Structure 1
Amino acid sequence: MSQAIDSSGRIGPNAITRVAEALEHRVDLKTQQAVFAAAELQHHLTEPPTEMVDENDVSRLHQALREHCDEETAKTVSLEAGRLTADYLLAHRIPRPVQILLKLLPAPLAARILLTAIGRNSWTFAGSGQFSVEYSPRLQLRIDNSPLCRLLRANNPVCDYYAAVFEHLFRQLVHRRTRVIESQCAAAGGEACLFAVSWS
């Protein structure tokens, strides 16, 4: 399954640890072990990473998830892992006073402030990929050269993990009815991964 990847970025450990946590909730131990073994990360099941990880590890893990689980299970695991990651960020990375302020602001302004912060820290989830935001004609997030789907080929968008992280953060900090939908994915032939954000 291994495939050469020309990249050198590093990503926060949540991209691995939360997948492991979500897998534990959704599949049996044998499948958990198969996914992590295929990604050459079986040691992380017993020793979860606590530092930044090589983005190649994340690419292999998300490839293995899609290869060893059916499409619905892989999607469910990815979505849960994304929500768990967002919960971690809310609990440990986004200061409480900032969260309170964002909730008090009009949604468009809160979104701009939140996305500015996300952009400054995008290397922690996009690695060597590039994160950008388009505000007009509609709010859209873009990740070029996404490590999450770099090894994947699919008929539909597969970056459910990213979509869930963005959506949960927006629902908690910007507008509770926010929806984030991946409208284009590099794994499905798109030039980049695009995420449409709306709350009306």
Structure 2
Amino acid sequence: MLSLGLTFDTAAGARAGAGLVGPNAVIQLGAALRAAPGLAGAAERVFARAGCTRLLASAPDAMIDEAIPARLFAALWRELPSAQAAAIAHQAGHRTGAYVLAHRIPAPARWALRRLPPFLAARLLLQAIRRNAWTFAGSGLCRVTPGAPATITISRNPLAMPGGVWHVGVFECLFRALVNEGTQIGHAADVVAGGRDCRFTIDWRG
């Protein structure tokens, strides 16, 4: 069976359930804020409000506590109108997906996935996402269900937000690049004790 070699962002000693996520949850949020037209100084305000100014000046290069991006996303919604906050978080997710594509998936795996039938490419990508889910789900529990559409469920998602837009951006980028450019991502969330359960539908048929 094809091996994707998809590793996302990892660090020595990190493990599933440790409450750690990849640093791109922070890095790409800062980049998306700074690139947004008409939002000069927004990155500095959001990071300051979350108590994370130092991470804007010196980006993390290893796995980080999931509480850090959670605070940043909460500050994003407090600092900006909801529509703007959602657009920035979605763009940050896309940027994270693009980083994964460029740096965490070997070129031969990208080449092979793009040439497989979409149903098989989707199944293999879902398997890789499940194996590495703790890098974007932290202490949350991730389950994947192949199908048409497929689903990705993150129980007690530490990075839950309105519309699940950061994760939507990540999954959208990956599936559109590797499975079908017409892939549509949906999101539903239930409030539970200790957080939110987020369910993402992946309609890779376009």
When normalised by structure 2's length, the TM-score is: 0.84
In structure 2, the partner of 1:175 is 180
Number of residue pairs aligned between Structure 1 and Structure 2:
185
Q: Which runs of 5+ in 2 are unaligned?
A: 1-16
In 2: Cα distance, 1:47 partner to 1:33 partner: 13
Q: Which runs of 5+ in 1 are unaligned?
A: 1-6
1:165 corresponds, among 166, 170, 188, to 170
User: Structure 1 residues 8 and 56 mapped into 2: Cα distance closer, same or farther (>3 Å)?
Assistant: farther
CA drift of 1:185 comes to 5.1
Spell out the pairing of 1:15-54 with structure 2 (5 A cutoff). Answer: 15-26=25-36, 27-29=39-41, 31-54=42-65
3-state SS in 1 of match to 2:163: coil
In structure 1, the partner of 2:79 is 68
In 2: Cα distance, 1:193 partner to 1:91 partner: 27
Q: Does structure 1 residue 101 correspond to structure 2 residue 112?
A: yes
Equivalent position amino acid for 2:128 in 1: A
Q: Which runs of 4+ in 1 moved over 3 A?
A: none
Equivalent position amino acid for 1:162 in 2: H
In 2: Cα distance, 1:144 partner to 1:113 partner: 22
CA drift of 1:138 comes to 3.5
Task: Please list the CA deviations of residues 119-170 of structure 1 after superposition, one character each: whole Å capped at 9, or x if unmatched.
Answer: 1111111010011112357311111111112xx6xxxx43201001001100
In 2: Cα distance, 1:114 partner to 1:186 partner: 28
In structure 1, the partner of 2:11 is none
Q: Does structure 1 residue 58 correspond to structure 2 residue 63?
A: no
Are the equivalent residues in 2 in contact too, given 1:158–1:185 (CA < 8 A)? no
The sequence identity of aligned pairs, in percent, is: 37
In 2: Cα distance, 1:140 partner to 1:73 partner: 27
Task: Let me know the Cα RMSD of the aligned residues.
Answer: 1.8
